Structure 1
C-alpha cells in the first residue's frame, strides 16, 4: 500500500519540514494507542524540549534556529489532526474526549497557511456524560443533542491575555493554549492565531468556583450541555471565524484589551450583532462589575466577576443547530467529511423505520436461519432495499468506503443509543431495586429478575450496529451462492477483503448466534489469499507493516472478544456456556491471548479461562499452542496486592494443568502443549503485566498518566518479543481454514464447556466415581444371582424325559426360575451379601449427594441412572440365561415347541399330496424344508445382541467424554505404538520409546493379555455387562505400573493411543471368545450341531406318517 504524504506550506517548515506522511488506520495503534493523550498536555511539553541553561553554545543561535526548536501542545495536536485521515481523526477524538482537555475546532491547513480547516464534522456524535444528581447521568451527543456555546474572543493584545484568564476558571490552568503555559517562553505556537479551541463545561473541566457558582445549578434544570469556544488572536483579524461561530446556538464573551478604540468596538459590535454578548474590560481604569485587573487574577473576587459574566452569557434562548446547514466564509473550509449521500440514505432509512423495526422485521436471516432463507430474502422487499443501500456504500472507492462505513457506524450507534436509553435506565433501576429486595423481601426477587431480563431483552432487540449489517450480508451471500449467484452479491467479499487488509475490522464469530458464517468468511479469506498468497500472520493485533524481516511475519491479526461475563447475562447457563465456548475459540486460534483484568477481582474471568484451557487440551484440530499475558489494571503498584490476582490465576492454571494430567483419560485430553507453555511462563514470572492508572490521581479531571503509557509500551515490546520467539507462525491461508474447523469442534464440544469451573469438573469426576462404585456392586450382585439361577435350572433339567407334556412343564418351571430370580435384584429378600452391599452403596451415594449440596434435579438424575443400569443388566442377564436354557433343552432333545413346528409343517406337506407317496428325492426335499423352518423358528427366538454391538455401546458409554477416541475405535485402525511419541524429556522435547522394539513389545504384550486377565478374574468365558469398565481400570493400572517401572511420565497423546490399541485388541479377542462360547450355549448353534440327529427324526416321522 502506498504511503501518502502531505506537502507542507513553507510557514510550517520550522516545525514540520517540507512534508509529512498521511496517518492512516495502520499507523493508528502506534501513534495514538501507544502515546495516548500524554503528549498532548501542556504540562508535559517542557519534557520534550531539550534545554540546558548552562550550555552557552546555544546563546549565539539566531532567531531562525530558535524557531526550529519551538514546540507547543497546540502545534502537536493541530499537526496530528491535520495530517491524519478523517476516520483516524474520529478515532483520536473518541479516545481523547474522555479527558478534560480542549480540542481544536478550527486549525490552519498544512498545505495552505492562509486557509483554515473546520474539524466539526469529525467531532459530531461522541457521547458526553455528566451527573446532575447522585445516580442520574445525562447523555449528550456532541453537536447533535441540544447545547449552548459561549464564545470567548478578544479585541486588542495583552499579556496575560484572554486564555490565561479563562484558564483560571478551569480545572487545569493550561486548558487553553496561553502565554503562561509551559514552554511559552519559546514564543507563541506557530499554528495558534486564528485557530479555535473548545471544551465542554462539566464538573471535570470546570474549576470548583465556576462549577459551584454557575453550572451545578444550571445542569439541574437543563439537559443541554454548554460548550466554551476560544478564538485565538485578535477577533478583528478573523471575521470569517466570527461568522462561523455565530451560526451556533451561541453567545459571545468579549474581552476588550487595553488600548482598544471606539472604532474597533463598533466593528466587533457589528460583527456579533443579533447575538447575546457580554463585555469584559481588561485592566480598564474604570472599575465596574465587568472590568478585571490581571494583576489580581489569582484573587477569587476578580475571578468571581468573570464567573458571573459566564452566568450572564448563558441567559439566552438556544436556537436549533444542524451541521449540514453551516455556511463557511472564504478562509474556512470543512475538513474531509465522512458523510456521503450513500451513507446518509441508509441512515435516513433506519431513522425512519427505527432500530427496533430494522432488527426485528427487516434483517431476519441472521435471526431465523432455516431452509427457506432464500424465499425470505426474495419476499422481504425492505431487506432487499436495505441491502441495496448498504451495497451502494461498499462499492465506493476504498478511501470513501471506509469513511462512509465510519459515518454509518457513528450514526447508527447514536440512534441505537437513543432508542435503548429508556430500557437501559429501567434495567439499571430494577437492578438497584433487586439489591434492596434481596435484603428485605426475597419473594419479589424472582419477579424483579424477570423484569430485568425483559428490559435487557428489549435493549437487545433495539441495539443495532454495523456488525448486524455484516451478518445479514453473510447470510444473504450464503443463500444467493446456492441459488441464483447474483453478481452484485458475489462481489461483496472482495470489498470486505480490501477493508480487512486496510485495517478495517470484520466480525469473525456472531456472538449472539454463536456461529460463523462459513461461506461468507471463506469468500473474504479467499480474496485475501488471491491478493497476498503467502501472507504470514501472528494472531494477536494489527500493529504495523514491514515486520517480516525482524519478526518473521507479514501481519498481525487481532481477535477481540466482547461481552464475556456481561452483567445482564449473569446466571444464565446458556449465556455462560457461550462465554466459555467463545473464550476457547478465541484462544485456540491465537498465538497469544491478552487477558485484560480490571481491578483486583478476576474470579469469573479465571473460571472462564480454566474451562477454555481444558477444552483446548481436549481438542486436536488446532496446533497453535497459545500463550497468555495477563494485563491487570490497578490503582497502585502495591506488590502485595498485585501478587494476589496473579497468584489466583497461577493457582487456577495449576489446577487446570493438574486435572488435565491426572485425569487425562477421564477428561479426554488430547494434548497439554498449551498448558505447558502457560506453566512455563508463570514459573518464569512473565505472566503479569500490571497497568497503573489511566490517569494521575483519582479525581475525574486528573490528567493522563505517564506511567500508563510506559506500561503500554512495555506490553507492546512483550508482544513483539513473543512474536519473534514464536515457533508457531502460520500462513493466513492455513489459518483461515483452521478457523472454521476449530469452530466446528468447539461448537460440538459439550463436555468441558458445560462446567463453570475446574471445581465443577472435579465434582463431576468424583460423582462419576461414586456412581461407578454402585454399578460395580450391581455387577457383582447380578453375577452371583446369574450363577445361582443357572445352577437351579440345570438341576431341574436333570428331570428331563421324553414325554412332551412333562418337558413343557419343565421348561416353564425353569423360565419362571429365571424371571423370579432376576425380579428383585438387588432388593431381594433373601440373605444376599452382594445385594446388601449394593443397597449400602446406593445409600452412601444418596448421602454423598446430600453432603455435597446437590439439588433435587441432580439427585433424581443420578437415581434414574442407577435404575436404568439395573434394568439394562436385568434385560441382558435374562436374555443370556434364556439362551442358555433354550440351548440346554435343544441339546437334550426336541422340545415340545420344536415338535409342534415339525408336526404342523408335516401336516401341510401331507395334505398337499392328498394320500399319495413321496419319492426319495421329494421326501429329502421335504425334510430340508422342515429343517429350514425349524432353524428359522429357533433363530427368531434368539434375542441376543451381537457382541460387537454390546462392546461398541459400552465403549461409547465408558468414553462418553472422549468422542474422538470412540470415533477412532469405530474406524478400527490400530495404532503402531512404536511410531507414537510417548514421553517428554526434562527439556519438554517429545521422545519415542527408548528401546523401540523391546519397549513396544512389552507394552503390547501386557495389553494383549488384559482380556484374559479380566475374564479369569470374573471366572467368565464370555462378554458381560461392565467388562469395558473393568478393561479401562486394567489399562490404567498397566500404564501406572510401566510408568513407574521405566520412570517415565507418558504424554496424553501416547495414553490415548494405548487405550485405542487395547480396546481394538480386546474387541478382536472378545469376538473370538464369544463365538466359542456361543457354539456351546447358543440355541441355533446347538441345533446345527444336532442337525444329523434331527434330520433323521424328521425323516423317520415323515415315513411313519405315510406308512400309518
Structure 2
C-alpha cells in the first residue's frame, strides 16, 4: 500500500522513495524464501492433500478445537498480566501486552495463509523441483465443502492475488466451468452480529465471538440447487464476511479511517447485494462510513454495475418498531441524500442529487428490524426464536429480489477475478477521497479547490492550492 500511495516521500523525491520501497520488498521476499518449512506446516499440508473429505473434515475440526484450547490457556495468563500492568499504569508495558494479546490467537486461517505464501514463493522460483502447483486444489475442495476462505489478509490488509486466483480457477475447473456468481456481502461496525446474521441466514460457519473475531475478509461459496438455478440465474451465491469497521484495535492508528473506507469501497464494488448492518435504530456510528458507501455506489453506477442495498437494524425488539421508526428511517435517507449530493459534486455528476438516483431504495422494503439473539444474558440464556424468524423473512425477501433482478452480465469466476484485481488496484491507488476523515473536511477541500481554481490568478491560485493541499495532508 505504501508503494501505491507514496504519502511519506519526505525530501528524497518520489522516484527515489519508490525505489527504496521496492528494494525493501525484494529483501523481505529473499529472506522469506530462505526460511525452511517447519515440520508442523509440512504435516498440515501433507494431511490435507492426502485425505479424503471425511478425514479432512475430522482433522480440521479437531485441529481447530486444539488450537482454541491452547489460545484460551495463553489468553488467560495474558489478560491477568494486562490487568496488572493497568494497575501499575505503565503505558509502555500496557501497549506491549495489548499487542501480545492481539497476536496470541492461532487458528487454521494462519496455516492456510502460510500455504498461500509457500505457493507464491514456489511460483517465483526458477527451480521446477520446488513448484507447489498442487496446493490450490486443497482450498478449492474446501470451498466446495463449505469452508470459508480468507482472500483479504486480516493482518497485512492485502490480497495475495496469485494465490486467490489459483484457488478460484481450480474451483472453476472442478465445477466444469459452471460458476455463475451472485455476490452478497455484509458491512458494519465491529460486534454488531454480521457473521451471526450470515450464519443464521444460510446455515454456514463463519467464526463468531465477541470483539474483533473476523479480520480481513472471507468468502464462502454456496452451491445453488438445480431447482433454484433458473430463478436465481446463478450456480453459486458467494458470501463475503468482513471485519468490523470502527475497530478499537485499529482506532489508535492515525489512518484507521482509511482502512475502513478502503474495505467498504472494495466490498461494495465486488457485491451484487450489500447488507449494511447497524446496531439498533440509529446510524450515528456509521455516518462517516455512509459517506464512502455513497461514493462507492455512485462509482458503481458510473460503470454500469447495479447493486442492491439493504439496511439491517439489529437488536430492535419492539413489535411495532418498523411502524414507529419511520422518522429514523427518513433521517437515515436524508443523511444518504446529503452524502450522495456531496459525492456527486466531487465526482462531477450534476444529474445525481439523491440516493435513490444511484440505486433502487425504498424506506419500507430496504430496512429490516431484527430482535436480539438471546433472551437474557448468555451462556445460560435461551435463544430468541424471533431472531431466526425475522432473519428467515429477510432471507426470503432477499432471494426474491435477487431472482427479479435479471442481469445479462452474470460473472463467472474468471471474470470475477479480473474485476476483483482491477477494483483492488483502483482502491490501492486511490489517494484523494480516502485521505479525508469525514464528509465536512472532504466537502470543504473540494469547494476550496474549485473556487480558487476558477476565480483566481495563476500565482495566487497555486499558492492557495498548495495551502489547501497541506490542509488535506493534515487529515483533519
TM-score range, shorter chain: 0.7 to 0.9
DSSP 3-state at the match of 1:521: helix
DSSP 3-state at the match of 1:680: coil
Unpaired runs of at least 5, structure 1 = 1-367, 435-443, 783-837, 846-856, 866-1108
- State the alpha-carbon separation in 2 of the partners of residues 768 and 426 from structure 1: 51
Asked whether the equivalents of residues 478 and 519 of structure 1 are also in contact (C-alpha less than 8 Å), the reply is: yes
Which of 167, 176, 181 lines up with 1:524 in the alignment? Answer: 167
Asked whether the equivalents of residues 371 and 386 of structure 2 are also in contact (C-alpha less than 8 Å), the reply is: yes
Q: Which residue is 2:34 aligned to?
A: 379
TM-aligned CA deviation for residue 756 of structure 1: 3.0
- State the alpha-carbon separation in 1 of the partners of residues 353 and 61 from structure 2: 41
Q: Which residue is 1:461 aligned to?
A: 103
Moved more, 386-395 or 601-610: 601-610
**Does the alignment pair 1:659 with 2:302?**
no
**Does the alignment pair 1:537 with 2:181?**
yes
Asked whether the equivalents of residues 620 and 670 of structure 1 are also in contact (C-alpha less than 8 Å), the reply is: no
Which of 129, 146, 154 lines up with 1:503 in the alignment? Answer: 146
Asked whether the equivalents of residues 268 and 274 of structure 2 are also in contact (C-alpha less than 8 Å), the reply is: yes
- State the alpha-carbon separation in 1 of the partners of residues 406 and 353 from structure 2: 13
- Give the root-mean-square deviation of aligned CA atoms: 3.9
DSSP 3-state at the match of 1:508: strand
Q: Which residue is 2:53 aligned to?
A: 398
Asked whether the equivalents of residues 436 and 472 of structure 2 are also in contact (C-alpha less than 8 Å), the reply is: no
- State the alpha-carbon separation in 2 of the partners of residues 569 and 614 from structure 1: 23
TM-aligned CA deviation for residue 657 of structure 1: 1.6
TM-aligned CA deviation for residue 748 of structure 1: 1.1
Q: 1:414 to 1:774 in 2, by over 3 A?
A: farther
Q: 1:578 to 1:863 in 2, by over 3 A?
A: closer
Q: Which residue is 1:705 aligned to?
A: 384
- State the alpha-carbon separation in 2 of the partners of residues 717 and 613 from structure 1: 26
**Does the alignment pair 1:688 with 2:362?**
no
Q: 1:799-810 counterparts in 2 under 5 A? A: none
TM-aligned CA deviation for residue 558 of structure 1: 0.7
Which of 393, 408, 412 lines up with 2:67 in the alignment? Answer: 412
TM-aligned CA deviation for residue 670 of structure 1: 12
Q: 1:539-578 counterparts in 2 under 5 A? A: 539-540=183-184, 545-546=224-225, 547-578=228-259
- State the alpha-carbon separation in 2 of the partners of residues 671 and 454 from structure 1: 52
Q: Which residue is 1:470 aligned to?
A: 112
Which of 355, 378, 389 lines up with 2:43 in the alignment? Answer: 389
**Cα distance per residue 1:938-974 (max 9 Å; x no partner):** xxxxxxxxxxxxxxxxxxxxxxxxxxxxxxxxxxxxx
Q: 1:779 to 1:695 in 2, by over 3 A?
A: closer
TM-aligned CA deviation for residue 766 of structure 1: 3.1
Q: 1:384-783 counterparts in 2 under 5 A? A: 384-395=38-49, 396-424=51-79, 453-483=95-125, 484-486=127-129, 489-532=132-175, 533-540=177-184, 545-546=224-225, 547-615=228-296, 617-618=298-299, 624-637=305-318, 638-639=321-322, 642-643=325-326, 645-665=328-348, 676=356, 679-682=359-362, 684-696=363-375, 701-728=380-407, 729-769=410-450, 771-772=452-453, 775-776=456-457, 778=459
TM-score (norm 2): 0.74
Unpaired runs of at least 5, structure 2 = 1-22, 185-219
Q: Which residue is 2:470 aligned to?
A: 861
- State the alpha-carbon separation in 2 of the partners of residues 655 and 584 from structure 1: 18
TM-aligned CA deviation for residue 658 of structure 1: 0.8
TM-score (norm 1): 0.34
- State the alpha-carbon separation in 2 of the partners of residues 756 and 645 from structure 1: 25
DSSP 3-state at the match of 1:689: strand
DSSP 3-state at the match of 2:311: strand
TM-aligned CA deviation for residue 492 of structure 1: 0.7
**Cα distance per residue 1:660-683 (max 9 Å; x no partner):** 333332xxx69979954765313x
Asked whether the equivalents of residues 611 and 755 of structure 1 are also in contact (C-alpha less than 8 Å), the reply is: no
Asked whether the equivalents of residues 224 and 234 of structure 2 are also in contact (C-alpha less than 8 Å), the reply is: no
**Cα distance per residue 1:968-1017 (max 9 Å; x no partner):** xxxxxxxxxxxxxxxxxxxxxxxxxxxxxxxxxxxxxxxxxxxxxxxxxx
Q: 1:821-836 counterparts in 2 under 5 A? A: none
Q: 1:138-153 counterparts in 2 under 5 A? A: none
- State the alpha-carbon separation in 2 of the partners of residues 864 and 746 from structure 1: 19
Q: 1:742 to 1:616 in 2, by over 3 A?
A: farther
DSSP 3-state at the match of 1:730: coil
DSSP 3-state at the match of 2:106: coil
- State the alpha-carbon separation in 1 of the partners of residues 306 and 276 from structure 2: 16
Asked whether the equivalents of residues 611 and 757 of structure 1 are also in contact (C-alpha less than 8 Å), the reply is: no
Flag the structure with more relative contact order, 1 or 2, with Cα contacts below 8 A and sequence separation at least 6.
2
TM-aligned CA deviation for residue 458 of structure 1: 1.9
Asked whether the equivalents of residues 269 and 300 of structure 2 are also in contact (C-alpha less than 8 Å), the reply is: no
- State the alpha-carbon separation in 2 of the partners of residues 429 and 537 from structure 1: 51
TM-aligned CA deviation for residue 764 of structure 1: 1.9
TM-aligned CA deviation for residue 402 of structure 1: 2.5
Asked whether the equivalents of residues 352 and 358 of structure 2 are also in contact (C-alpha less than 8 Å), the reply is: no
TM-aligned CA deviation for residue 392 of structure 1: 1.7
- State the alpha-carbon separation in 1 of the partners of residues 405 and 115 from structure 2: 36
Q: 1:576 to 1:466 in 2, by over 3 A?
A: farther
Q: 1:165-314 counterparts in 2 under 5 A? A: none
Asked whether the equivalents of residues 301 and 358 of structure 2 are also in contact (C-alpha less than 8 Å), the reply is: no
TM-aligned CA deviation for residue 560 of structure 1: 0.3
TM-aligned CA deviation for residue 400 of structure 1: 1.5
Asked whether the equivalents of residues 277 and 311 of structure 2 are also in contact (C-alpha less than 8 Å), the reply is: yes
Moved more, 558-567 or 486-495: 486-495
TM-aligned CA deviation for residue 518 of structure 1: 0.8
Asked whether the equivalents of residues 281 and 325 of structure 2 are also in contact (C-alpha less than 8 Å), the reply is: yes
TM-aligned CA deviation for residue 746 of structure 1: 0.9
Asked whether the equivalents of residues 597 and 633 of structure 1 are also in contact (C-alpha less than 8 Å), the reply is: yes
DSSP 3-state at the match of 1:476: helix
Rg larger in structure: 1
DSSP 3-state at the match of 2:276: strand
TM-aligned CA deviation for residue 537 of structure 1: 1.3
- State the alpha-carbon separation in 1 of the partners of residues 261 and 422 from structure 2: 18
TM-aligned CA deviation for residue 378 of structure 1: 4.8
Q: 1:414 to 1:747 in 2, by over 3 A?
A: farther
TM-aligned CA deviation for residue 692 of structure 1: 1.4
- State the alpha-carbon separation in 2 of the partners of residues 545 and 384 from structure 1: 39
Q: 1:884-963 counterparts in 2 under 5 A? A: none
Q: 1:671 to 1:551 in 2, by over 3 A?
A: farther
**Cα distance per residue 1:434-467 (max 9 Å; x no partner):** 9xxxxxxxxx9xx85x665444322233232222
DSSP 3-state at the match of 1:515: coil
DSSP 3-state at the match of 2:313: strand
